[in-house]
Amino acid sequence: MPARDAEFTELIRKRISQLQQLGWYHSIELKDGQVIKGLQSLEHLRFRLAQFPVPEDLTGKRVLDIGAWDGWFSFEMERRGAQVVAVDSHKHKNFEIARELLGSKVEHHVADICKLTPAEFGTFDIVLFFGVLYHTKHPLLALENVCNLATDMAFIESHVSDDGEDPAAPPVMEFYETTELGGQFDNWVGPNTSCLLAFCRTAGFARTELESVIQNRAHVTCHRQWPATQPASPAPFLVGVSPSADGYISIWFRSEQKELNCDNVFPRIGPYGSRPVHVSQTDADGWHVNCKLFPGETEVSLHVRNSAESNRARVGQALGLPQTAKPKIHSVTDGKTWELSRIHSGCISIWAAGLNDDLVKIAINGVYLPAIFISCPDTEGLRQVNAILPASLKPGEARVSLVSGELESDPVTVEVVNDSQ
């Protein structure tokens, strides 16, 4: 070997040996094949990643690596072609050193997942959440943020308190007040595998798949989308949408299909699938479903089994445009029989033009009823607005108007029929 080359190799060897003193969690392979050895070998890191169906080619994708530490997963995502943002609640100097040595363009920020929202760095096709959940004091909040940051998939690896062998195990979580887990104070929770999966669903993911549990580490792939289907039966029809407590939404719809449940009703909130937590039948073809509403998303639709997608509705009180002119009622029908200008008990439906504002109410004989459903405009610009009729409504003629923001439509007259007479 020529003297200069030998000198250079010796310099690199010394530099690696100095770097080695810094103490690494991840091993990092440099461009010339030399390896800074960390607590976790390259083989082990590759084995951990191989638990998940992460595409080999990530060209054009944005990836977020949460709790990146020394950054092996971030650099691997970049190697696969992704644009990568790495965050960690602590500033890890080794990440910066590795980034420089690798000539990497991964963005590196200090951020706490319990506070991170898409407002900071946007959303990501893929989110990696490896080895962080059990370090958080508020694990469900952290997972909700992970869900809100992902547009397609999140890969979640966490310590679990069991071996994941019993899929029917009740969901329970251990709490570590001090140093019970691994002698470390920053370990807070140990969900069992059932609990971890339930948390992922509750956080808002449409689908969760348990990939493996190895030595108390569970690997879960979480999807934000329903699988694509070929529509082969008629679309359900949405008749009511209303936000409820804890960031959930109630959807009422009509469908001829039988035995609908949480596994064959597929709500969509904005562009994302939202798994039902409850489905019940209200009458012969009437159904009610509860599912999670996502921040900033107002458009709702659903399909059941392999049906076509329903009509779209907006969550009431969220149209968000200024109301500059009076809304105009086009027609009024019963919300169930669709009879024109004739309403029974239950629900009233109005079709109206020029409906923009946030607050929409139906007034009937001077009583104001909140809208439980506002559809998207049809081809003529008409929106459907539904409200539940008060039980006290008397039979006979009634004056109906529509209020949007500060402005009220001209009234129309309808006939109220009392079915019990």
Instruction: Please give the residue ranges that form the binding site for ligand SAM (CB under 6 A).
Output: 66-69, 88-90, 112-114, 130-132, 135-136
At its nearest, how many Å lie between ligand SAM and the CB of residue 293?
A: 25
- Eight-class DSSP state of 340: B
* Residues 6+ away with beta carbon under 8 Å from 377: 383
At its nearest, how many Å lie between ligand SAM and the CB of residue 171?
A: 22
Report CA-CA distances (Å) from 352 to 30, 332, 349, 375. Answer: 65, 9, 10, 10
At its nearest, how many Å lie between ligand SAM and the CB of residue 221?
A: 16
Cβ proximity to ligand SAM: between 79 and 90 the closer is: 90
Question: Max CA-CA distance within the chain?
Answer: 108
At its nearest, how many Å lie between ligand SAM and the CB of residue 91?
A: 9
DSSP secondary structure string for all residues of 249-267: EEEEEE---SS--TTTEEE
Cβ proximity to ligand SAM: between 77 and 393 the closer is: 77
SS3 assignment, position 134: helix
At its nearest, how many Å lie between ligand SAM and the CB of residue 162?
A: 20
Burial group, residue 116, by CB count within 10 angstroms (0-12, 13-18, 19+): buried
Task: State the Cα–Cα distance between residues 36 and 28, nearest whole angstrom.
Answer: 5
Residue closest to ligand SAM, measured at CB:
67
Cβ proximity to ligand SAM: between 51 and 349 the closer is: 51
Both structure tokens of 17: 């040996």
At its nearest, how many Å lie between ligand SAM and the CB of residue 86?
A: 9
Both structure tokens of 285: 């073809």
Cβ proximity to ligand SAM: between 26 and 383 the closer is: 26
CA 380, distance to chain mean position in Å, is 32
At its nearest, how many Å lie between ligand SAM and the CB of residue 313?
A: 36
The number of C-alpha atoms within 13 Å of 286 and in the hemisphere containing its C-beta is: 10
At its nearest, how many Å lie between ligand SAM and the CB of residue 150?
A: 15
Cβ proximity to ligand SAM: between 133 and 315 the closer is: 133
Instruction: Choose among 30, 82, 38: nearest CA to 56.
Output: 82
Task: State the Cα–Cα distance between residues 374 and 372, nearest whole angstrom.
Answer: 7
Task: State the Cα–Cα distance between residues 79 and 99, nearest whole angstrom.
Answer: 12
The count of residues in the chain is 421
Cβ proximity to ligand SAM: between 148 and 375 the closer is: 148
Cβ proximity to ligand SAM: between 74 and 307 the closer is: 74
Cβ proximity to ligand SAM: between 115 and 399 the closer is: 115
